[in-house]
Structure 1
Amino acid sequence: MEINENADLVRRLLTVMENDILPLTEKGVEGGNKVFGGALMRKSDMSLVMAQTNNETENPLWHGEVHLLKCFYESPVAKREATRDMIFLSTHEPCTMCMSAIAWAGFDNFFYFFSHQDSRDSFAIPHDLKMLKEVFGLEPGGYNHDNAFWRGRGIFDIIAALPEDEAQPLIGQAGRIRARYSELSQLYQKSKDANAIPLN
């Protein structure tokens, strides 16, 4: 099923971030985890299947996206719902591990709010870009956003293509979300030296 990249999609993605992912991330950051999270939604009606957040204090592989997939496959819903029928929402542009996990799980898409550059510059977490450069020799944005596995899209790229009257309310909602993540990032940075996450 094709996903229409329009104002309705963006509004729903932002609402899931604000109402479903952020509350989980607030608790996660209190426990020493990073600010990354994700959600699965049905393509048919954009209803929520599951939301989760980073849990690297338990296992350094439990990035927001991978922890979401772990929880999804441990739940009964995984027996009833096909990943090809879902939208994958990531709060931050997925790292190389998470991109691969999304592909291995059979998703044909992902949408993200914050870019890799945001993770480095606004969140002081440069590991995504460093991994792309050091392991794969890629500059920022250098991976294929459209490939044989999935189509990856930044939410702000979709907003930029909308008519101004549709974009403005979404920009307001996005601003609220950005401000809350900024607060959570400051909390994480203050406490990160107390956790045992290898790449904190």
Structure 2
Amino acid sequence: MSDRTIPSTESQLTDSQLAAALLGAIENHVLPLTRQGVAAGNKIFGAALLRKSDGSVVLAETNNETENPLWHGEVHLLKRYREVAGLPPPEQLIFLSTHEPCSMCLSAITWAGFDNFFDFFTHEDSRDSFAIPHDLKILKEVFTLDPGGYRRQNAYWTARSVAEVIDGADAAAQPALRARVKAIHDEYAALSDSYQDGKAGNAIPLR
């Protein structure tokens, strides 16, 4: 069993607890919003904030590029986070992104003061499984970075994938966690098909 916790003295979560909390946030909070967002013509990306103390969800959002092309899932979440009074400060929160954040969202997470983020899908997944190559293309064209070229542990934050967290979970818990991962993958594949089928008619600059 792993006792590894996320990089915060306030966190009491083991990887088993953290994995369950992250998957639950996607299943019960992000995906319902994303279904609505895709139906309105938006991409499949979403994000959530969870308490480091117990893994409970504070706020969730999804992509809203049909309103503003800057409202990626992560940036839209940060916008809403600043609009809602009484939420915990960034140092008490886990930042979850369904897909590895693009360069804009990486910067936004940094400027907003978060010391961590967790992602479910990778940049390569966005390109290869969801036909959205812009994250990797911008990193290459603007910053000359190849896939994986930015530092996932740096002076501002530490990034971990949900897959890595599950690898650190108790062995007995991993089969059930991986079954949930498979179900989430399947739902995002269906949502991606819906987005791709309808994206020609929307006004998002980088579809």
Query: Would you say 1:119 and 2:149 are equivalent positions?
Result: no
1:147-192 residue CA offsets vs partner (Å, 9 max, x unmatched): 0110011111222344542211110001111100000000000000
Distance 1:162 1:76, change over 3 A: closer
- TM-score, normalised to structure 2's length? 0.92
Which residue is equivalent to 2:33?
24
Displacement of 1:29 in angstroms is 0.2
Alignment of 1:185-196 (within 5 A): 185-196=192-203
Which residue is equivalent to 2:55?
46
Displacement of 1:5 in angstroms is 5.5
- 2:76 aligned to 38, 53, 67, which one? 67
Contact 2:16/2:170 (CA < 8 Å) preserved in 1?
no
RMSD of Structure 2 on Structure 1 (CA)? 1.2
Matched AA of 1:70: K
Which residue is equivalent to 1:103?
110
1:90-111 residue CA offsets vs partner (Å, 9 max, x unmatched): 0000001001000100000000
Displacement of 1:61 in angstroms is 0.2
Structure 1 unaligned blocks of 5 or more: none
- TM-score, normalised to structure 1's length? 0.96
- Alpha-carbon distance in structure 2 between the residues aligned to 1:119 and 1:163: 29
Percent sequence identity over matched residues? 56
- Alpha-carbon distance in structure 2 between the residues aligned to 1:162 and 1:183: 28
- 1:134 aligned to 104, 128, 141, which one? 141
- Alpha-carbon distance in structure 1 between the residues aligned to 2:28 and 2:155: 32
Q: Which has the higher helix share?
A: 1
* Higher mean C-alpha displacement, 163-172 vs 99-108: 163-172
Matched AA of 1:35: I
- Alpha-carbon distance in structure 2 between the residues aligned to 1:158 and 1:140: 21
- Alpha-carbon distance in structure 2 between the residues aligned to 1:195 and 1:175: 30
1:30-72 residue CA offsets vs partner (Å, 9 max, x unmatched): 0000000000111111111100000000000000000000011
- Alpha-carbon distance in structure 2 between the residues aligned to 1:164 and 1:45: 21
Alignment of 1:71-90 (within 5 A): 71-78=80-87, 81-90=88-97
Which residue is equivalent to 1:35?
44
Contact 2:16/2:166 (CA < 8 Å) preserved in 1?
yes
Displacement of 1:76 in angstroms is 1.1
Distance 1:21 1:140, change over 3 A: same
Displacement of 1:17 in angstroms is 0.2
- Alpha-carbon distance in structure 2 between the residues aligned to 1:158 and 1:48: 18
- Alpha-carbon distance in structure 2 between the residues aligned to 1:32 and 1:193: 9
- 2:66 aligned to 33, 45, 57, which one? 57
What SS class does the counterpart of residue 118 from structure 2 fall into? Answer: strand
